[in-house]
Structure 1
């Protein structure tokens, strides 16, 4: 991993904060759908950039310049997030399309037609251009009608790799032909996970900074939220870099395996973002009873994360950790009793479940794995 890539990821610290705060202030079904679209857009922007730096050296002047140009657009995309469903919808769409289509067009322009990846990038450019039409159309229409256009746009970019970016006249790519640097891809995904976990840390710290009095319930809530962050880190990084790298390099289809890593992380990291929102709610009113959308967020984030890390460990390590499924079931069971508990108690029980799952894996790696 290079310094250019680390620098690029700083933009996503800002983007994730913007997205999680958007969900925090719009805890409705529509708010969840809108946040999901914005999150997948952010992830796809990062994912397509990660593929570029996996295939091409980011230390060369051309790719370094491309990374920095993409950073500027990604920063504007993040800045537009709070009003993406309002007055800045078109600005969000134009910056996002400029980032996705511009990056692909630059690679197509730079690569000689004989390069093995040239046909692949022509197909990628075709699909991000199709998606771009829906992004821009959504930005132009009334905010009431924006969601359907942007859902189609996300699906175009998220699903097209599953079919080799197939397009009439251009054929389709075969993932077996994609040359993947397994170590690099795994490191990039791990770093983004750290960036996302940083949002849960920031949520805890900022909430305490804004409190006038550090009361015992507030301090206990802070401790619970901090332990929750540690538990999530523990559950993810229990899978070693070498183990995940070997899963890619040993595969008969390294390209498809690499794509699986990206698909899984899009879901897994969404669980972290939702958990960060739950942390904000907890530290704001730790003794308030957990009801409705508040309880759903505090339960939903950890459940998504547990199931996401379970699938990740299955793909990366070849073993499915049933302990994660048991942990998710325990968290859901706690959720059913949530309306009778203050948020502090609910969060404490959820964190305990996460810690027990992690401790069980460390105590005996073979336990709960098949």
Structure 2
């Protein structure tokens, strides 16, 4: 007779090792942002989105995994550290993934290792039945990423998008039953990733301002960028994070998995992508602080904030039966940054963005004005 796997209850709060893992994840995101900074074009954005999508998919996978792992034991700890090492190698290969040379294959193999560790981690947990269906599709998508690292650089974005499409469709193909979710842990884990990413964006803007050495950029530019980052933080952490835990916890277990996938998976990807684009856009706004912006650099900040706000609206809708129209209206209003950047430069772009986000905060704190 064989014994059944030792199933643990879902974790309710984030453990220190998970926060350590998140630091490596956010470093990977900043490496991806570097791809867009180096090539602020439509093609550069396509590369960035493709990389962010596969990276976020497995970050989400590890959030589901650690929700089921007992990290008090050495075995699960070593497993998570192994996945973290693979993530770190992958991050180091990101800046050269689209160049000739070995780094494309290195990223692909590191990503495959991330996926294999993730799949193996569910053995003996409450999610072992769920991963038996979803894991093979994750491995196939990782093999596509490996193939992307082998094909000529000009074709890599398109191959990566094939992996993205398979990952996005895999819950539809395999289903998401069999995974237990601790609402408190799940919400806190994703919120920590977002706040660390916002912190990294502030550091990046401050570094650019300091390197330029202009007092106006260092003081005024950095403060305006901080106001924008604070607005991004406020519209989520003022109420959305707390409400999402309450709403997710109140759902029947059979609905919770789908709601978590739609909100913390797909909608959160839009939010993370938006924050990454906005961070690069803020760096460009500080660089061209008193000079009009042109080309695609002009669009990075407004499109990033618009994507973040639209993603936040979709996030709320996935958990509650209402739309928060304030976010959708603001996603359109923030496009006023475009004429501001054309007319006066980065300082006016940052000011307009800060005012729009401040308006969202004020309206969101007024009962009855933002939901329908």
TM (norm. structure 2) is: 0.90
Deviations 1:235-289 (A, max 9, x none): 1112254421122122231111111222211111111111110111122220110
**Equivalent residue, structure 2, for 1:239:** 239
Which range moves more in the overlay, 80-89 or 57-66? 57-66
CA-to-partner distance for each residue in 1:114-143, whole Å, 9 max, x for gaps?
x76333222222112211221122111211
Candidates 358, 366, 369, aligned match of 2:368? 366
How many positions carry a matched residue from both structures? 354
Contact 1:199 1:273 in 2 (8 A): no
Match of 1:123 among 120, 126, 133: 133
CA apart distance, 1:359: 1.7
Shift of residue 63 of structure 1?
1.4
Partner Cα distance (1:209, 1:218) in 2: 6
Q: Relative to 1, partners in 2 of residues 1:106 and 1:118: Cα closer, same or farther, differing over 3 Å? A: same
Of 131, 136, 153, 2:163 maps to: 153
Q: RMSD of aligned C-alpha atoms?
A: 1.8
The CA distance in 1 between the partners of 2:107 and 2:285, in whole Å, is: 31
Give the alignment partner of residue 324 of structure 1, picking from 322, 327, 333: 327
Q: Identify the match of residue 135 of structure 1 among 145, 148, 168.
A: 145
CA distance in 2, matches of 1:150, 1:329: 30
C-alpha displacement at 1:211, in angstroms?
2.7
The equivalent of 2:207 in structure 1 is 206
- The residue number in structure 2 matching 1:97 is 112
Q: CA deviation at 1:184?
A: 0.8
The match for 1:275 is: 278
CA–CA distance in 2 between the matches of 1:234 and 1:91?
A: 38
The 10-residue stretch of structure 1 (64-73 or 130-139) with the greater mean CA deviation from structure 2: 130-139
The aligned residue for residue 40 of structure 1 is 53
Distance 1:242 1:157, change over 3 A: same
Give the equivalent residue in structure 1 for 2:182. 181
Aligned in 2, Cα 1:302/1:19: closer, same or farther, shift over 3 Å?
same
Is 2:65 aligned against 1:52? Answer: yes
Extract unaligned runs of 5+ from structure 2.
Answer: 1-13
> Aligned-pair distance for 1:318?
4.4
- Moved segments of 4+, more than 4 Å: none
Contact 2:206 2:218 in 1 (8 A): no
Q: Measure the CA separation in 2 of the matches of 1:329 and 1:6.
A: 34
5+ long unaligned stretches in structure 1: 166-172
Please tell me whether the aligned partners of residues 126 and 180 of structure 2 are also in contact (alpha carbons under 8 angstroms). no
CA distance in 2: counterparts of 1:318 and 1:197, whole angstroms: 29
